[in-house]
Every structure is written in structure tokens, then in C-alpha cells.
Amino acid sequence: MKANLITLSLATVLTLLCASARPAAAGTIYDNGPINGNVDAWTVNFGFVVSDTFTISGGNGTITGLSFGTFSLPGDTLLSIELSITSSEFGGTTYFDQVVNTTESDCHSNQYGYNVCTQSATFNGPNLAPGTYWLNLQNAFVDTGDPIYWDENSGVGCQSPGCPSQASDNSVGTIPSESFTVEGTINGGTVPEPGSLLLLASGVTGVVGVLRRRVKRS
């Protein structure tokens, strides 16, 4: 029985090691911290543009989604927003520029009478080399035609390399940064080579034999 348990545990290790050689699943590329909801927010329609930096580290990143916090008037729903990724605030080289549909969730009322919500968008974004880029939000479309505002959190609680973001509003200049998370896949990183895995597997197999012999003696 002991020998079987040892063999099973080592087989599990090998399975996990082989799984580590597979491409990474989609996840968080950059996180500027959670929604605050009680400080301030910046208009992202009616001609106003808000731009925040985000950093890609550890390999090329394929952008596939975005979530961010908003203030809106009760009863209003954000339906879409123009999202662009550029080399500098509001411009420079444009890597992506598209109107994306949004889904609203986790809404609650704040002390100012606004609804604070999480907005999520999924899209086929660009593949970007490691570095720092600018995320620009503008031309938000609300079902009632009212203004909507990107939640300011100053990057409090962020954990990603390069955080907190630098941020700017096209009407006033530099501002505190906003709450958002860039989703996608990092292509690269330290993954064991297949040859290394085979060598490790052969070594573990030898250990299994030694352990079996020891179990038989006991």
C-alpha cells in the first residue's frame, strides 16, 4: 500500500510538470487596484478622454479584455465605449482602437447618489511587447445619453509591475489614476524544456524504484 501511494504521488508530480509546459491560460496582465467608488471619477464621453498607463512584463502580452469601475446616474447603463491602446497619452503609435461592448455588474450606490459598477469588455486585442502603454477610454455610450465617469482610485491596492498608473485627462492634464484591470495572456516566461522534463521524469522513476525497495524491507 505504501509503495502504491508513493508511486501515485510521484506520477502526480510528473503530470503537473508536464502541464506547466503548456501555454498559459488567459488571466490578468495588469491590475491598477480595486474600485474605490467614494473619491472622484472622470467623464469618458461628451468629448472627454481619460488615459492611464499599464505595463506588460514577463513576455509578449495578447490583450483580450478589460474591466474598470464607473460612476453613473441611477437607472443608466453603459452599453459600449471606445478603447484605444497607444504609445503615449491620447496618441502616438496606435496599437488598438475599437468600440467595444460592455457588461455591467456588482453595482451599488455611493455617498454621492451615483451607482458604482464594474464594467467588463472582451475583445480581440493586440499582441504587445514588454513595456509601458497608454489605455485611453472615450466616447462611452449610455442608454439614456447621460454622462458616465471612470472611477478614480489612485492605484491604491495595485500589485502589478509599473503600478500605480500615470493618468491624464484631455481637458485638465495630469490626474490621479483610475481603477482597471487588463486581461490577456503572457506568451513566454520560464517553462521547462521537453528534454529537461524527460530527464527529470527518468530521475523520478529511479527514485520510485529505490523507495519501493525500501518499503519492501520495512
Lowest mean per-residue pLDDT among 54-68, 104-118, 189-203: 189-203
**Nearest alpha-carbon partner for 132 in 51, 14, 46:** 51
Measured from the Cβ of residue 63, the count of other Cβ atoms closer than 10 Å reads 25
Label residue 22 by pLDDT band (50, 70, 90).
very low
pLDDT confidence tier of residue 13, bands split at 50, 70 and 90: very low
Q: Which domains does the chain have, with CATH numbers?
A: 37-185 (2.60.120)
How far from the centroid of its chain's Cα atoms is residue 29's Cα? 4
Question: 61 vs 199, which has greater pLDDT?
Answer: 61
Is the pLDDT at 125 greater than 50, yes or no? yes
How does pLDDT run across 49-91, given as a tens digit for each residue?
Answer: 999 999 999 999 999 999 999 999 999 999 999 999 999 999 9
- Alpha carbon distance 62, 59 (integer Å): 10
pTM of the full structure: 0.76
Contact between 163 and 55 under an 8 Å Cβ cutoff? The reply is: yes
**pLDDT > 60? residue 1:** no
pLDDT at 133: 98
